[in-house]
């Protein structure tokens, strides 16, 4: 290194100490696999289990549980409730009622001013001219010009007899000749506001950008709440209906749409790119209007509809609006459903506020449906992350993205596979589940110690060598009767005893000598009848099978394991098939068929130690007929019992012990397994479901030792 050159700086790396590890995954994938497996063990399909996992949340990399989709749905429900309490949807009707009351008050004040302006005792001239004496004030005089007292009284009676409903009163006042200019202006503003709201519900604010114009505008018609006069608005609606009519028949062209947008594009700020996008925007507004109407009471709905119909006024304009509504119904029939909402807030909401609140609630409903993933083919990819962020914030969107990442990792890391029937647990996942189940079994064994069985019936184990050995306390090998009697005779002869009856002592007994075999042929027969699921034993049965399979695969690979599931019939199954099997409502416990398959499996391995383990919660109620069909009857029949015991006897002849694990308290099952133990010399155990794995694994290990 040349003089003056700076020595390169070295770097040292250590554990991150600045808070949460920024590179750590948000979820613990292996913990997620265990949680997924637990649901599959309980009877769910892999797809349903994955959805349930995403809904309820999974453990994070730090061990804390991360919230799932259900937590987001709860936030959506809280937001919907907040919107319900945000105001009162009857605001448009209430606003119309207030404006009408204001107009009537001004009109009555003007009429009353006419009476107040006339001097006391002054007679009314029949021609309507005032007495020269006592000139009235200018305002009262202007209001009273040409209005006799009879006419004033008639007008007051007209106002007093108006219908109580706002819509009825507005209808009656349509031909009323207002005395007060301010009352007339308020009444016309009421109609203009309603018309603007009705048109905005169909076309949006873009078509009505300005404020109300006064009389004297072009054509003398005034304006409809915007830069377009009534004539221009009718022209827009006519062109729009013509375009939608052609589109409904499939006769429109891109040129038709381009021509329409060139003429009226400023009215649609969404700037749709084709007719379908235009229809979607219009249908969304119309659907919001329909939902608002359904959210009102029946009386409020009738009142508002009547007010808006009167506000449109122009028959041609009303006809165009009605035609537009019909076109949208025909083109988007599914967009106009949805339920109404009941708002409970105290503040009246304007039409726009109500429509906005209902639109947001509609978006929340759609978002909640996607988060529920209720459709059989729906996935997290169907969730609109932008909508989640818009409604619930960036944190919720990140949460959904993390769940998507977890689902992707489960596939990419090989935990999930794709079978002909959908998602499956991969062999890698099954090994993980088996390892977890076996770890729990060994933890239980260390905690409880060996033994503790409810019932132990001595049976054969290992292969008889043709010799015998002295019996020791705890031996379960068969007694060698010949050797035992011979040892008793030899003992009495050595003692000088002659004749009499032979009395055997404990030290006389001898048992058949067996040899331990290098491998075992293991048949695990598991009950798949509906009662196993209904009584909460399904998951324990599956976890036990996976634990035993993992133990044999990792520690005793020379052993041959065959899992046999039996319901109305029996079948040989792989660990993956057993893990994926779902409970069915088919009744039947065909132990006869299961034992036949177990006997066939043991026969394939004549040099191996036979180990047959049966897990069941009910006595046999089914058997195979000679033609191969399954016969079922409950209560069990003598034929079913006889054929099942025939299989037991066949195993007994080949010195194959049967260990039965009894789940439940079925008296018929207890009597049956006691009979099997006496005939076969096998063992009977009655564990609780949560200790089934401990019992099965420990009995398998005992059988391998030849004990």
pLDDT of residue 569: 93
Strands 609-616 and 570-573 come out as unpaired
Beta bridge partner(s), residue 419: 422
Instruction: Kindly list the structural domains of the chain, giving each domain's residue range(s) and its CATH number in brackets, ordered by start.
Output: 91-118+138-204+228-340 (no CATH), 467-515 (no CATH), 517-704 (3.40.50.410)
**pLDDT grade for 174, boundaries at 50, 70 and 90:** confident
- Reported as a single tens digit per residue, the pLDDT across 641-672 is 999 999 999 999 999 999 999 988 888 888 99
pLDDT of residue 221: 41
Q: Find the range with the poorest average confidence among 313-317, 585-589, 616-620.
A: 313-317
Instruction: Say if residue 347's pLDDT is above 80.
Output: no
Instruction: Say if residue 181's pLDDT is above 60.
Output: yes
pLDDT of residue 458: 36
% of the chain residues with pLDDT over 70: 75
- Tell me the mean pLDDT in the region 269-285: 82
pLDDT of residue 62: 58
**pLDDT grade for 55, boundaries at 50, 70 and 90:** confident
Which two three-digit tokens encode residue 699?
């009995």
- Tell me the mean pLDDT in the region 269-296: 77
pLDDT of residue 610: 92
Q: Find the range with the poorest average confidence among 102-106, 326-330, 482-486, 699-703.
A: 326-330
pLDDT of residue 653: 92
Residue 641 main-chain phi, psi, to 5 deg? -65, -40
Instruction: Say if residue 216's pLDDT is above 60.
Output: no
Instruction: Say if residue 164's pLDDT is above 90.
Output: no
- Tell me the mean pLDDT in the region 136-163: 67
Q: Find the range with the poorest average confidence among 236-250, 300-314, 485-499.
A: 300-314
Pairwise CA distance, residues 374 & 69, whole Å: 12
- Tell me the mean pLDDT in the region 88-108: 81
Pairwise CA distance, residues 532 & 542, whole Å: 11
pLDDT of residue 603: 93
Instruction: Say if residue 113's pLDDT is above 50.
Output: yes
In this prediction the pTM is 0.55
In degrees, to the nearest 5, what angle opens at C-alpha 386 toward C-alphas 380 and 387?
A: 85
Q: Decide if 225 contacts 210 (C-beta within 8 A).
A: yes
C-alpha separations of 352 from 58, 341, 363 in Å: 42, 16, 16
- Tell me the mean pLDDT in the region 202-230: 46
**pLDDT grade for 156, boundaries at 50, 70 and 90:** confident
- Tell me the mean pLDDT in the region 264-290: 80
pLDDT of residue 346: 66
Instruction: Say if residue 34's pLDDT is above 50.
Output: yes
Residue 521 main-chain phi, psi, to 5 deg? -105, 110
Residue, of 515 and 420, whose pLDDT is higher: 420
- Tell me the mean pLDDT in the region 241-255: 88
Neighbours of 448 (CB within 10 A): 12
C-alpha separations of 123 from 120, 136, 156, 394, 530 in Å: 9, 13, 21, 80, 103
**Segment holding 339, helix H or strand E:** none
- Reported as a single tens digit per residue, the pLDDT across 552-563 is 988 888 999 999
Strands 510-515 and 463-470 come out as antiparallel
Instruction: Say if residue 600's pLDDT is above 90.
Output: yes
Which two three-digit tokens encode residue 401?
């993205």
Instruction: Say if residue 367's pLDDT is above 80.
Output: yes
Residue, of 494 and 1, whose pLDDT is higher: 494
Instruction: Say if residue 121's pLDDT is above 70.
Output: no
**pLDDT grade for 325, boundaries at 50, 70 and 90:** confident
Average pLDDT of the chain to the nearest whole number: 77
pLDDT of residue 460: 39
Q: Decide if 519 contacts 608 (C-beta within 8 A).
A: yes
Q: Which residues contact 310 (CB under 8 A, 6 or more apart)?
A: 167, 170, 171, 174, 191, 194
Pairwise CA distance, residues 101 & 85, whole Å: 27
* Per-residue H/E/C for 619-648: CCCEEECCCCCEEECCCCCHHHHHHHHHHH
- Reported as a single tens digit per residue, the pLDDT across 283-299 is 777 776 767 666 666 77
Which two three-digit tokens encode residue 137?
């004030």
pLDDT of residue 137: 39
Closest CA to 274 of 247, 241, 234, 251: 247
Which two three-digit tokens encode residue 190?
């009421």
Pairwise CA distance, residues 158 & 174, whole Å: 12
**pLDDT grade for 472, boundaries at 50, 70 and 90:** confident
pLDDT of residue 461: 44
Q: Decide if 619 contacts 566 (C-beta within 8 A).
A: no
Residue, of 526 and 48, whose pLDDT is higher: 526
- Tell me the mean pLDDT in the region 424-442: 82
Q: Which residues contact 221 (CB under 8 A, 6 or more apart)?
A: 229, 230, 231
Whether a cis peptide bond, with omega within 30° of 0, leads into 635 is yes
């Amino acid at each position: 290194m040349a003089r003056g050159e700076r020595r390169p700086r070295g770097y040292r790396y250590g554990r991150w100490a600045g808070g949460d590890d920024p590179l750590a995954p948000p979820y613990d994938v292996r913990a997620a696999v265990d949680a997924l497996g637990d649901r599959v063990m309980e009877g769910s399909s892999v797809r349903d289990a994955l959805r349930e996992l995403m809904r309820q949340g999974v453990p994070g990399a730090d061990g804390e549980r991360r919230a799932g989709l259900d937590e987001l749905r709860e936030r959506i429900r809280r937001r919907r409730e907040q919107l319900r309490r945000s105001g009162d949807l009857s605001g448009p009707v209430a606003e119309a009622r207030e404006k009408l009351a204001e107009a009537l008050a001004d009109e009555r004040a003007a009429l009353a001013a006419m009476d107040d302006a006339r001097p006391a005792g002054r007679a009314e001239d029949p021609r309507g001219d005032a007495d020269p004496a006592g000139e009235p004030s200018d305002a009262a005089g202007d209001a009273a010009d040409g209005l006799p007292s009879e006419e004033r009284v008639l007008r007051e009676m007209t106002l007093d007899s108006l219908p109580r409903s706002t819509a009825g009163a507005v209808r009656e006042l349509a031909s009323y000749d207002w005395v007060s200019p301010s009352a007339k202006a308020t009444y016309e503003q009421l109609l203009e506001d309603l018309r603007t709201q009705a048109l905005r519900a169909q076309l949006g604010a873009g078509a009505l950008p300005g404020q109300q114009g006064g009389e004297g505008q072009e054509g003398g018609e005034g304006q409809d709440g915007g830069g377009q006069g009534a004539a221009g608005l009718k022209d827009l609606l006519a062109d729009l209906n013509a375009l939608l009519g052609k589109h409904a028949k499939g006769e429109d062209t891109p040129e038709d749409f381009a021509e329409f947008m060139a003429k009226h594009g400023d009215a649609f700020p969404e700037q749709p790119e084709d007719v379908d996008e235009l229809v979607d925007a219009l249908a969304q507004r119309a659907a919001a209007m329909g939902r608002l109407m359904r959210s009102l009471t029946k009386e409020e709905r009738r009142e508002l509809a009547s007010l808006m119909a009167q506000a449109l006024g122009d028959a041609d304009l009303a006809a165009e609006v009605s035609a537009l509504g019909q076109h949208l119904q025909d083109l988007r029939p599914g967009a106009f459903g949805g339920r109404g909402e009941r708002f409970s807030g105290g503040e009246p909401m304007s039409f726009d506020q109500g429509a906005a609140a209902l639109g947001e609630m509609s978006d929340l409903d759609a978002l909640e449906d996607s988060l529920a993933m209720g459709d059989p083919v729906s996935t997290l990819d169907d969730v609109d992350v932008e909508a989640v962020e818009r409604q619930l914030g960036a944190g919720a969107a990140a949460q959904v993205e993390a769940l998507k990442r977890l689902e992707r990792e489960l596939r990419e890391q090989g935990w999930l596979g794709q079978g002909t029937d959908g998602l499956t647990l991969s062999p890698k996942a099954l090994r993980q589940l088996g390892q977890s189940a076996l770890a729990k079994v060994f933890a239980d064994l260390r905690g409880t110690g060996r033994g503790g069985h409810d019932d132990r019936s001595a049976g054969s184990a290992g292969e008889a060598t043709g010799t015998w050995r002295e019996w020791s306390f705890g031996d379960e090998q068969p007694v060698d009767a010949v050797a035992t009697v011979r040892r008793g005779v030899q003992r009495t002869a050595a003692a000088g005893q002659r004749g009499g009856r032979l009395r055997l002592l404990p030290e006389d007994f001898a048992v058949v000598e067996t040899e331990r075999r290098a491998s075992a042929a293991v048949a695990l027969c598991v009950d798949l009848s509906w009662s196993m699921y209904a009584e909460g034993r399904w998951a324990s049965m599956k976890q036990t099978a996976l634990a035993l399979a993992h133990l044999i695969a990792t520690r005793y690979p020379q052993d041959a394991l065959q899992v046999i599931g039996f319901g109305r019939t029996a079948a040989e199954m792989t660990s993956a098939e057993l893990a994926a099997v779902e409970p069915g409502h088919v009744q039947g416990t065909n132990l006869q068929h299961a034992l036949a398959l177990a006997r066939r499996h043991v026969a394939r391995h004549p040099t191996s130690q036979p180990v047959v383990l049966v897990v069941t919660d009910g006595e046999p109620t089914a058997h195979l007929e000679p033609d191969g069909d399954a016969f079922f009857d409950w209560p069990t029949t003598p034929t079913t019992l006889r054929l099942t015991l025939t299989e037991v006897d066949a195993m007994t002849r080949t010195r194959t012990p049967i260990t039965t694990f009894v789940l439940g308290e079925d008296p018929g099952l207890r009597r049956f397994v006691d009979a099997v133990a006496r005939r076969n010399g096998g063992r009977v155990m009655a564990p609780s479901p949560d200790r089934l794995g401990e019992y099965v694994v420990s009995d398998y290990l005992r059988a391998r030792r030849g004990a």
